[in-house]
């Protein structure tokens, strides 16, 4: 199966989670972190979901009407009959649905994710082996350290200043590529964010000072 990778903006949108065990809890945590309005439907809730704030709990079995207004459905129950009904109803309604650990009942899969601030790296095996996806993610996490996320924050803050400078488009592009270099992350790790910010500002000032001005 060839999947099309995509990042979804779920902020303020309803996502339906069917089931309320440990697996559902992990799914709900990630959805809440992304700003989704999560509704969880289950006859029984695990302790973590029972006390989680910021979600809507519906303590009963799944009904087709629960799909109303949902932009996404995740089904994590131990009932094959409920899983299949939820998949069929969602598919017929044109709502993307994922039945956990059953790729044949999914219109999308959930990758293993490495997050470093706003940097998101997703690994998918097309539902073939979530365990291998997790192992690959662990390898990535060893290489992509938290400093990458802090580096991104600095670059985001300074990008507007670079774009507003007297540098032309080619010079701005060259400077931004230099600002993204490994040496900046090394400064973050050794000396901290303030030192890295000063280093980046010096780079900008030096680029402007040494730019070749057009002849009058």
Which residue is it, tokens 């409920």?
82
CA dist., res. 7 & res. 113, Å (int): 12
The verdict on 173 and 92 lying in the same domain is: no
Query: Is residue 138 in some structural domain?
Result: no
What confidence score (pLDDT) does residue 13 get?
98
The verdict on 35 and 100 lying in the same domain is: yes
Query: Is residue 136 in some structural domain?
Result: no
Query: Is residue 85 in some structural domain?
Result: yes
Query: Is residue 129 in some structural domain?
Result: no
Query: Is residue 162 in some structural domain?
Result: yes
Rg value, the chain, Cα: 23
The verdict on 30 and 103 lying in the same domain is: yes
Mean pLDDT over each residue of the chain, to the nearest integer: 93
What's the count of helices (H) and strands (E) in the chain, helices before strands? 8, 7
The verdict on 20 and 80 lying in the same domain is: yes
Interval 116-166: pLDDT, tens = 999 999 998 887 888 999 999 999 999 999 999 999 999 999 999 999 998
The verdict on 41 and 100 lying in the same domain is: yes
| CATH code at position 64 | 3.40.50.720
3-state secondary structure of 110: coil
What confidence score (pLDDT) does residue 212 get?
53
**Domain count for the chain:** 2
Question: At what angle are helices 146-164 and 182-191 packed, to 10 degrees?
Answer: 120
Percent of the chain with pLDDT over 70: 97
Helices (H), 165-192: 169-179, 182-191
Query: Is residue 131 in some structural domain?
Result: no
On whether the CB atoms of residues 109 and 115 are closer than 8 A, the answer is no
What confidence score (pLDDT) does residue 216 get?
41
Range of the domain at 183: 146-209
The verdict on 77 and 31 lying in the same domain is: yes
Query: Is residue 185 in some structural domain?
Result: yes
Query: Is residue 123 in some structural domain?
Result: no
Per-residue pLDDT of the chain (216 residues; tens, 9 = 90+): 678 888 999 999 999 999 999 999 999 999 999 999 999 999 999 999 999 999 999 999 999 999 999 999 999 999 999 999 999 999 999 999 999 989 899 999 888 899 999 999 999 888 788 899 999 999 999 999 999 999 999 999 999 999 999 899 999 999 999 999 999 999 999 999 999 999 999 999 999 988 754 444
What confidence score (pLDDT) does residue 209 get?
87
On whether the CB atoms of residues 19 and 42 are closer than 8 A, the answer is yes
Residue 207: closest CA among 164, 184, 175: 175
The verdict on 37 and 96 lying in the same domain is: yes
Residue that terminates a domain, selected from 65, 82, 110 = 110
């Amino acid at each position: 199966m060839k999947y099309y990778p995509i990042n979804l903006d779920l902020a303020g949108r309803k996502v339906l989670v069917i089931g309320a065990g440990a697996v559902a809890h992990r799914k709900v945590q990630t959805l809440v972190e992304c700003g989704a309005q999560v509704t969880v439907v289950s006859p029984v809730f695990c302790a973590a979901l029972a006390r989680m704030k910021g979600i809507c709990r519906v303590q009963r079995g799944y009904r087709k009407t629960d799909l109303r207004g949902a932009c996404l459905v995740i089904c994590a129950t131990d009932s094959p009959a409920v899983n299949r009904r939820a998949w069929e109803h969602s598919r017929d309604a044109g709502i993307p649905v994922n039945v956990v650990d059953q790729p044949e009942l999914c219109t999308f899969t959930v990758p293993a994710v490495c997050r470093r601030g706003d940097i998101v790296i997703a690994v998918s095996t097309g539902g073939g082996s979530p365990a291998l996806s997790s192992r690959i993610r662990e390898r990535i996490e060893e290489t992509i350290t938290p400093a990458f996320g802090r580096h991104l924050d600095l670059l985001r803050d300074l990008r507007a200043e670079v774009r507003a400078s007297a540098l032309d488009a080619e010079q701005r592009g060259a400077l931004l590529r230099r600002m993204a270099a490994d040496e900046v992350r090394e400064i973050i790790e050794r000396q901290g964010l303030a030192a890295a910010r000063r280093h980046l500002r010096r780079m900008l000032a030096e680029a402007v000072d040494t730019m070749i001005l057009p002849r009058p």
